[in-house]
Amino acid sequence: MLADALGRPLCFVVTAGQVGDVTQAPALLAGQEGAAVIADKAYDSNALRALIAQMGAEAVIPCNPTRKIIISHDAIAYRIRNRIERCFNRLKHFRRFATRYDRRTIHFLGFVHLASAMIWMT
Give the CATH number of the domain where residue 79 resides: 3.30.420
Residue 25: phi and psi, rounded to 5, are: -60, -45
Q: Could you read off the pLDDT of 43-92 as tens digits, one per residue?
A: 888 999 999 999 999 999 998 888 888 888 888 888 888 888 899 999 99
Q: What is the pLDDT of residue 118?
A: 94
Predicted confidence (pLDDT) at residue 119 exceeds the cutoff of 90: yes
Residue 71 Cα distances to 30, 36, 76, angstroms: 24, 16, 15
Helix H or strand E encompassing 6: none
Average pLDDT, integer, range 3-9: 89
What integer pLDDT is reported at residue 50 of this predicted model? 92
Note the helical H segments in the chain.
Answer: 25-29, 46-55, 75-78, 82-92, 95-99, 105-121
pLDDT of 103 higher than 90? no
pLDDT in the model for residue 101: 81
Number of domains making up the chain: 1
17 pLDDT above the threshold of 80:
no
Helix and strand numbers (H, E) in the chain are 6, 4
What's the average model confidence in pLDDT over 16-24?
A: 81
CB 82 within 8 A of CB 57: no
pLDDT higher than 90, residue 114: yes
Containing domain of residue 77, as a range?
2-121
